[in-house]
Chains A and B, each alone.
Chain A
Amino acid sequence: MTPRVTLAVAGRVLAQLRRDHRTVAMLLVVPCVLLALLWWMFDGNAGIFNSVGPPLLAIFPFIVMFLVTSVTTLRERSSGTLERLLSMPMGKADLLLGYALAFAAVALAQSLLAVGLTVGALGMDVQGSVLTLTVVSVLNAVLGTALGLFVSAFAETEFQAVQFMPALVLPQLLLCGLFVPRDALPAVLEAVSDVLPLSYAVAAMREVQAASSWTSDLVLDVSVIGGSALLALMLGAATLRRRTA
């Protein structure tokens, strides 16, 4: 791994994104619009908004980054630039970390806006600091990026890549505790939700909301999210082959 190369990749991904004004606008504005819509739906009922808001702050960056990353990396695979890069003195980790860094930067901007809106303007009640909320939110986005990088290896077209969203993300959304508390799920589903990373993302957000300090539960949840992202990146590295058939 070479920091020069990692940063070159991150800079390049951001330069590409900067050209795509529509995508940048969607990345930054859509989560805010959805959160505002949610607040409006539960007009005046601060209790419901307070209970649904934090999980959605975890889920939006996760989903958006998953989609953007899987399509972007697939494009790199199919355009021949990936083969070219791998024939150059570039480590696989440089490529993956470069992508992760670039999208983490985008996620930071996205999270700052979403957290600012919900906590500042819409009055979401959070005991923990805004900083912690943002950190957890960015970490969730990195998890989405890492999973997106990994699944892009199994898609041959952008159509297929987009289909991985309902296939891999929606089950996590259903089982993460947003609709039914996880301990109230049937035993089998609870066990399944125990191994799905999004469950920990949502739990972490709720921890930040409920407590003003880093509880041991929060530390555990954050470690699981970080560990899952790292694992997905390593699996992603395994799918990058310098030699292909």
Chain B
Amino acid sequence: MANKSPAVDISHLRVVRGGRTVLPDLSCTIPPGQVTGLLGPSGGGKSTLIRAIVGVQKVQGGTVEVLGQPAGSAALRRQVGYVTQAPSVYADLTVTENLRFFARVLGARTAAVGTVLDQVDLGHYADSLVGRLSGGQRSRVSLAVALLGEPQLLVLDEPTVGLDPVLRRDLWALFHDLAAKGRTLLVSSHVMDEADRCDRLLLLRDGQVLAEGTPHALREATGADDIESAFLALINRVGWQPDRQNGTPVRTRDKEVAP
């Protein structure tokens, strides 16, 4: 699996949003069949990178290739599942009504509705109005929608925010199940303690890849005990200094940490 071509291949991606350069010049790859964690502080460009991969973000330069095709291609709309940070489901419909609707749009089997309900553990809420659910439950409905079409690539923007530890554990188990079936997952989080649940990490700060590699390799290379410390060590090592002139960092990214 390791030698297969990357699921996502980004080179020299440049994105400006609202006059601010969010991603100045980003290059990275995401291997297939693994759970890649996209970690970094809020405002570091995680959501923008995710939007560029899904193909809903206007980009100013560079290329983003997803499953061998340019991001946003019509053919990819069936193969990429996308979950935004805010749950994108209809609050005035029940959980089942939401899933049935999206299943019809995707041309998925009706049976898929029951399957994804179980996967996100919302079977008991099938007939509840989404607007009456808690924030965590709503985001699981949103996740269930993304699972409907059995997409090859799942891109999840902070899917575990506000979930209790048991549910978080179960969802990560689901993510690894999916990866074991050959699907590729990109999961963003600003919570560093989720890092160890990923097969591979992409640390993003100020729109640049600070490091990429397995959690183990990142800890080894920095001599840190956990990813949070490794993150700090990496920032100190490269002498990270935001360029006050235009708000973008002056240093290019660190070399990839060998596994």
A residues whose Cβ falls under 8 Å from a Cβ of B? 4-5, 8-9, 11-12, 15-16, 19-20, 79-81, 83-90, 242-245
Q: Is B190 an interface residue (CB 8 A)?
A: no
B residues whose Cβ falls under 8 Å from a Cβ of A? 17-18, 54-58, 72, 74, 77-78, 80, 82, 84, 86-93, 97, 101-102, 104-107, 129, 145, 149
Are B105 and A89 within 8 A (Cβ)? yes
Chain A residue nearest to B102 in the complex (CB): A88
Chain A residue nearest to B91 in the complex (CB): A79
CA of A81 to CA of B58 in the docked complex: distance in angstroms? 18
Chain A residue nearest to B60 in the complex (CB): A245
Given contacts A4-B104, A8-B105, A90-B105, contact A243 B55 (CB under 8 A): yes
Residues of B within 8 A of A20 (CB): 92
Given contacts A84-B84, A242-B56, contact A89 B92 (CB under 8 A): no
Given contacts A4-B107, A8-B101, A80-B84, contact A87 B90 (CB under 8 A): no
CA of A90 to CA of B105 in the docked complex: distance in angstroms? 7
Are A242 and B55 within 8 A (Cβ)? yes
Which label, helix, strand, loop or mixed, suits the secondary structure of the A interface? helix
B207 CB → nearest A CB, Å = 16
CA of A220 to CA of B217 in the docked complex: distance in angstroms? 74
B57, B72, B74, B93: the one contacting A16 at CB < 8 Å is B93
- CB-defined A-B contacts under 8 Å, sample of 21: A5-B104, A8-B101, A8-B104, A9-B105, A12-B90, A19-B92, A79-B91, A81-B89, A83-B56, A84-B88, A88-B78, A89-B74, A89-B78, A90-B105, A242-B56, A242-B72, A243-B57, A243-B72, A244-B57, A245-B17, A245-B57
A15, A19, A88, A245: the one contacting B105 at CB < 8 Å is A88
B146 CB → nearest A CB, Å = 9
Chain B residue nearest to A76 in the complex (CB): B90
Apart from A19-B93, A80-B88, 19 more pairs, CB < 8 Å: A5-B104, A8-B105, A12-B90, A12-B101, A16-B92, A16-B93, A19-B92, A79-B86, A79-B88, A81-B89, A87-B54, A88-B78, A88-B106, A89-B74, A89-B105, A89-B107, A243-B55, A243-B72, A245-B17
Residues of A within 8 A of B78 (CB): 88-89
CA of A20 to CA of B92 in the docked complex: distance in angstroms? 8
- Point out which of A79, A86, A87, A245 has the most chain B C-beta atoms below 10 A from its C-beta: A87
CA of A243 to CA of B57 in the docked complex: distance in angstroms? 5
CA of A84 to CA of B141 in the docked complex: distance in angstroms? 13
Chain B residue nearest to A8 in the complex (CB): B104
